[in-house]
Amino acid sequence: MAINTDVVGATSEPRQRTWTSTDALLYALGVGAGMDDPTGAELEFTTENTRDITQRVLPTMAVVLQASGLPLRELGDVNLAMMLHGEQGITLHRELPTEGTLESSSTITGIWDKTKGAVVDVEASTVLAGTGEPLFTTRASLFFRGEGGWGGDRGPSVTVEIPESEPDVEITYQTRSDQALLYRLNGDRNPLHSDPQFAADGGFGTPILHGLCTYGFTGRALLHGLCDGDPARFGSMDARFTSPVMPGEALTVRMWRTDDGAQFRTHGSDGRVVLDAGRFAVA
């Protein structure tokens, strides 16, 4: 059965999610916060009881806090095993609290024919439960291999011209060999990131790092490189996934300042681009 293109605009039922201070600490550790931190600059993200320090939350935790289920069942009889995470974006409407209850709903905003596959764009809006105060918006582009070719619109194309000059800011973080095992405790238990045989069946020599873990490492670099480590200044972040990352690799984030923030790109240990077309805005 071909993908159902009539479901653009379909919205999931609102769902709630409660999180705690411990969840925020676990997410921070999952994206490398606190590693090689001799000055204690990230203690506000990794501890809740350090003298004279108030706990805060890394902005990219929004990608795991989102509570709504994607309305993908509306797409018809598509093979979810053929789905790839193409792009991810977040916009923070306020600093994330260290605990609370939120409510999210997701909407399919576009379905595009890329000939060899279909791209499904999804946007989720999240508010604080009880008050309705906007908390964050997330955006994702999902690529379904083998679902294109119906002669539909190819959709918009976002071109980000990364400068050829040396970056204004460059930060390298080392991931751990067990980084995926730690990050999966935030909720993504896909065995591709933990089971060697499952990874081998997918064509990988070892389990790979979650794309959103790479996204979180990149977000930390943007936070410290462009916002002086202040989550209240973190506005929005969008990027395209271009290559899987293996746990234990070093990730280098290169940033070129713009009038409202920066363009960025993330490289793996061997120099290949793993996150591309990065756009960041300061709040």
Task: Please compute, for residue 65, the number of CA atoms within 13 A of its CA located in the half-sphere on the CB side.
Answer: 35
Q: Which residues of 23-36 are buried (b: 16+ CB within 10 A; e: fewer)?
A: bbbbbbbbbbbeee
Indicate the residue among 130, 157, 184 that finishes a domain.
157
Q: CATH code at 223?
A: 3.10.129.10
Question: What's the number of domains the chain is made of?
Answer: 2
Same domain, 73 and 21: yes
Same domain, 113 and 196: no
Tokens of residue 33, six digits: 């916060």
The closest alpha carbon to 241, from 270, 277, 193, belongs to: 277
Give domain status of residue 162, yes or no.
no
Same domain, 203 and 150: no
Single-letter amino acid code for the residue at 231: P
Give domain status of residue 163, yes or no.
no
Q: Which domain holds residue 212?
A: 169-282
Would you state the pLDDT for residue 131? 96
Please list the pLDDT of the chain residue by residue as tens digits (283 residues). 489 999 999 999 999 999 999 999 999 999 999 988 888 889 999 999 999 999 999 999 999 998 777 777 788 888 877 788 999 999 999 999 999 999 999 999 999 999 999 999 999 999 999 999 999 999 999 998 899 999 999 998 878 889 999 999 999 999 999 999 999 999 999 899 999 998 898 788 999 999 999 999 999 999 999 999 999 999 999 999 999 999 999 999 999 999 999 999 999 999 999 999 999 999 9
Same domain, 186 and 132: no
Place of tokens 């194309």: 157
Indicate the residue among 120, 135, 157 that finishes a domain.
157
Let me know: does 95 contact 231? Beta carbons within 8 Å.
Answer: yes
Looking at residue 27, the DSSP 8-state letter turns out to be: H
Which region holds residue 10: left if phi is over 0, alpha if psi is between -120 and 50, else beta? beta
Find the distance separating the first CA and the last CA of the chain, reported in whole Å.
Answer: 44
Active site residues: 188, 193
Same domain, 173 and 258: yes
Same domain, 109 and 69: yes
User: pTM for this structure?
Assistant: 0.94
Which residues are CB-neighbours of 153 under 8 A, at least 6 positions away? 112, 113
